[in-house]
Structure 1
């Protein structure tokens, strides 16, 4: 199994990110350096035949996923829905979660293939436990666990379980969800855990994770908070990979691209004359490609602890490779979700 590596800090990318974030935080989320092909990491990680224009259907073409059980959070719209649709069309049994029974059932019923709708509110520990209890009760191996759901750039500070909402939902919700499902994941042979991060993790605070400000009481900036939550997603995948070394289970994170989905519902209306194609670099089918690739394609089967974009390994920020930071985040997350 491929180990995590530390490629050193990409100062050019960091400076570009910092300047753009400081001056045009909203534009940054839709533009450089997230928009377009992502930098390759150093090293000899294998690259596949797919790229920025590949779709989820293309990266799974010809695959027979019959007998494969997949869990996808946030199946009712956007990338989660497209990924569920494509994997189910290849024969996988997809357990799709949404915040309400109505949304989950409607999404699952609207596609061809075997699906099971489940309710999951990532901001509620009670809901997470109820959801994972019901999935574990199915007594089936989970071949793929995909943490896809999330919220982005809340304009005003909001608390969830006494913590800043984006960190609480995007990271802690999936941290508890994943750990609760490890018994079912461990039943599968060579299971894969796929966690959606984002290139926006470059917008995380200078220290990476502000452990002394997880409730946002000292300061709050929407994009920095979102970036912190996405950095936490990547650190979680990396630390999970280290803890699972030798088990045959892989864990990776990814940047899907800049896509127009319901994730951007909190963004203020644009007042410029740009067209969508000037801002977004991928369609929803293209945005779902990397997560579908990590979930099902044979090429990354033995790669773990990495950050992907455009269906290939990509270069993350220096913080993403900080093993001490990842271990500290794990310990804090355990305490916060206990």
Structure 2
């Protein structure tokens, strides 16, 4: 697998991680605005003592990780929620029985938890996975709930599959209160190209763009679009997006390509917020399941954060689903738009992530791609 040149992520789940390394601004409020998952340890990173200790040298820590640690210690942000909040806690007392949501990537981990919690609060959730069997299994496992999961197939690497889903939803009169763009392809070791696009950019960005665009006029007046990004948006190419080489023909780095797709997710939500109706919102988020980033080589602050994070623990799916459930359902998120959140609170992006010119260029390039795909 490729080594990321910027960060080595440490995901600590207490005893379950067995010390292995793995992956993982505020602009305006109320405006218009086979997949490997293990991250390779780089030089300076070592197996830990059950995820609690790390050898490190000199380095820096990203803003997201400082905020994440701060929220661990402070417990909550200004809205009363933080790193320790779960999706169930955030939606406690909410009646979502009049809401219909569209959720991609429903069949594993955070997608499953998002599906479970939204239906627990009474929502009707159109739950998509690459195959109908996978989506049906996710919905069948919900158990008794006031709401319901409606399984549907949507292969985000195939435009025809996306268009078929959109056509079916439109034909049956579906109106959406929110869309959670949750599905992801992460860092295949070899370059995979489909429809002239590198797979991660195709699935993570273009597929979701096509899906959301197809349902824009079927959103409620106060609908919310939620797009899962990641601190990995900082790992993209030095120029941000390589819009002239979206098949990664010049070079392929699994993690730079993944970072590019996550930067595209962030910029898509940022610019979509500008295009929506005044009471509709669009935001991106970091799910928070990756707790500590240690640069290569590491640093004193990075090592301190690693040690503290190992002691304090990190989030399984109930916490990982918290921010997207907050954004799509909680009343206090109704006026948040065009922002990037982690642990249910807005945080700054990279410089590229706040570049409105780049967001416009991405939007226009994506429209060209969608038109070409037919």
TM-score (norm: length of structure 2): 0.74
Q: 1:231 aligns with which of 263, 268, 272?
A: 263
Does residue 1:78 correspond to 2:109, yes or no?
Answer: yes
- What is the Cα-based RMSD across aligned positions, in Å? 2.9
Q: 1:211 aligns with which of 243, 259, 279?
A: 243
**What residue is the counterpart of 1:335 in the other structure?**
368
**What residue is the counterpart of 1:311 in the other structure?**
344
Q: 2:139 aligns with which of 108, 115, 118?
A: 108
**What residue is the counterpart of 1:2 in the other structure?**
30
Q: What CA distance in whole angstroms lies between the structure 2 residues aligned with 1:179 and 1:213?
A: 23
Q: What CA distance in whole angstroms lies between the structure 1 residues aligned with 2:139 and 2:244?
A: 41
Offset of residue 212 of structure 1 = 2.0
Matches within 5 A, 1:139-150: 139-150=173-184
Q: 2:196 aligns with which of 144, 162, 178?
A: 162
Question: How many matched pairs?
Answer: 300
Offset of residue 213 of structure 1 = 1.8
Does residue 1:255 correspond to 2:289, yes or no?
Answer: no
Does residue 1:98 correspond to 2:126, yes or no?
Answer: no
Q: Which has the larger radius of gyration?
A: 2
Secondary structure of the corresponding residue to residue 244 of structure 2: helix
Deviations 1:209-247 (A, max 9, x none): 01122111001111111000000000000110011152x
1:38–1:315: 8 Å Cα contact kept in structure 2?
A: no
Q: 1:37 aligns with which of 62, 67, 77?
A: 67
Q: What CA distance in whole angstroms lies between the structure 2 residues aligned with 1:71 and 1:123?
A: 18
Q: What CA distance in whole angstroms lies between the structure 2 residues aligned with 1:231 and 1:25?
A: 26
Q: What CA distance in whole angstroms lies between the structure 2 residues aligned with 1:21 and 1:215?
A: 27
Secondary structure of the corresponding residue to residue 286 of structure 1: helix
TM-score (norm: length of structure 1): 0.82
1:39–1:315: 8 Å Cα contact kept in structure 2?
A: no
Offset of residue 109 of structure 1 = 1.6
**What residue is the counterpart of 1:53 in the other structure?**
84
Secondary structure of the corresponding residue to residue 315 of structure 1: coil
Deviations 1:24-47 (A, max 9, x none): 7999xx99545563499xxxxx93
**What residue is the counterpart of 2:359 in the other structure?**
326
Deviations 1:75-130 (A, max 9, x none): 11111110010000000000000111111111112113312111000000000000
Offset of residue 153 of structure 1 = 1.1
Offset of residue 319 of structure 1 = 0.9
Q: What CA distance in whole angstroms lies between the structure 1 residues aligned with 2:353 and 2:123?
A: 31
- Distance of aligned partners of 1:100 and 1:286 in 2 relative to their CA distance in 1, 3 Å threshold: same
Offset of residue 160 of structure 1 = 1.8
Deviations 1:263-306 (A, max 9, x none): xxxxxxxxxxx99x849831111000000000111111011100
- Distance of aligned partners of 1:23 and 1:135 in 2 relative to their CA distance in 1, 3 Å threshold: farther
Q: What CA distance in whole angstroms lies between the structure 2 residues aligned with 1:255 and 1:211?
A: 23
Offset of residue 189 of structure 1 = 2.8
Gaps of 5+ in 1: 6-19, 41-45, 261-273
1:4–1:306: 8 Å Cα contact kept in structure 2?
A: no
- Distance of aligned partners of 1:278 and 1:221 in 2 relative to their CA distance in 1, 3 Å threshold: farther
Secondary structure of the corresponding residue to residue 210 of structure 1: coil
**What residue is the counterpart of 2:37 in the other structure?**
none
Q: 2:332 aligns with which of 279, 299, 311?
A: 299
Q: What CA distance in whole angstroms lies between the structure 2 residues aligned with 1:26 and 1:288?
A: 29
2:159–2:207: 8 Å Cα contact kept in structure 1?
A: yes
**What residue is the counterpart of 1:123 in the other structure?**
157
2:221–2:277: 8 Å Cα contact kept in structure 1?
A: no
